[in-house]
């Protein structure tokens, strides 16, 4: 699944660029409206540097993606995404093949990194609201012996449902936290981004 790692990163990059305006629009309701722009610049740099990256091992590749994003994106977004890819790459280490249990371990490590870096947890109305339940669903599907396509589809459905559920929550982190009660009724841009990306990966995997 070495190709699997690069394939997924490529889909994430394309999806972020396609949804730049949408993600910023979501963020603009109660945030500072630059979420889509910020992460799009990061993945734009990843794509422009693609051929110069270390593709020898999946772990090395993910670490390079991390440093590329951090170099292109300032602020919290760069740190969060950079940390997620760095943790995933460190988890893989020098493995040449990526197994299903590796995938879950990568996600779990990335989540811990996001919690630490963003000083956030479930319930704060962040990326985690859709990311954590989606990874739980993916792990459950893997444990039940379902094929990768089915597992991805189930995770994407959970991510979308949980992203929609952020509408009723109060934001406790980031710029949106300053709006307090006004953040109720709005979707969290990060949580929606996770859902959109998982849906895109699921669709691309099938094709």
Q: Where are the domains of the chain?
A: 2-206
**pLDDT the model gives residue 201:** 97
Return all residues near 177 (Cβ < 8 A) that are at least 6 apart.
171, 183
Summarised one tens digit per residue, pLDDT across range 13-63 is: 999 999 999 999 998 887 778 899 999 999 999 999 999 999 999 999 999
**pLDDT the model gives residue 74:** 83
pLDDT averages per 10-residue partition of the chain, 207 residues: 81 98 91 89 98 95 97 91 98 96 98 94 95 98 97 98 96 76 88 98 94
User: In CATH, what class is 2-206?
Assistant: mainly alpha
Dist CA 22 CA 189 (whole Å): 9
Dist CA 104 CA 132 (whole Å): 11
**pLDDT the model gives residue 36:** 94
Query: Quick check: 1 and 97 in contact, CB under 8 A?
Result: yes
36-40 contacts at long range (C-beta below 8 A, 24 or more positions apart): 36/189, 38/73, 38/74, 38/75, 38/77, 38/78, 39/69, 39/73, 39/77, 39/81, 39/193, 40/16
């Amino acid at each position: 699944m070495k190709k699997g790692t690069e394939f997924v990163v490529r889909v994430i990059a394309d999806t972020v660029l396609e949804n730049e305006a949408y993600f910023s629009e979501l963020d603009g309701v109660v945030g500072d409206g630059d979420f889509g722009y910020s992460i799009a610049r990061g993945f734009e740099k990843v794509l422009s540097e693609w051929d110069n990256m270390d593709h020898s091992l999946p772990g090395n590749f993910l670490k390079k993606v991390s440093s590329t994003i951090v170099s292109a994106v300032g602020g919290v977004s760069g740190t969060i995404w950079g940390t997620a890819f760095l943790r995933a790459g460190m988890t893989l280490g020098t493995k040449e093949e990526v197994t299903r249990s590796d995938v879950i371990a990568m996600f779990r490590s990335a989540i811990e990194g996001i919690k630490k870096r963003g000083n956030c947890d479930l319930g704060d109305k962040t990326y985690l609201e859709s990311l954590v339940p989606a990874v739980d669903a993916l792990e459950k599907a893997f444990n039940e012996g379902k094929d990768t396509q089915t597992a991805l589809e189930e995770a994407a459905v959970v991510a979308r449902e949980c992203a929609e559920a952020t509408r009723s929550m109060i934001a406790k982190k980031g710029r949106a936290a300053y709006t307090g009660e006004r953040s109720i009724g709005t979707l969290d841009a990060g949580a929606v981004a996770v859902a959109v990306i998982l849906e895109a990966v699921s669709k691309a995997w099938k094709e």
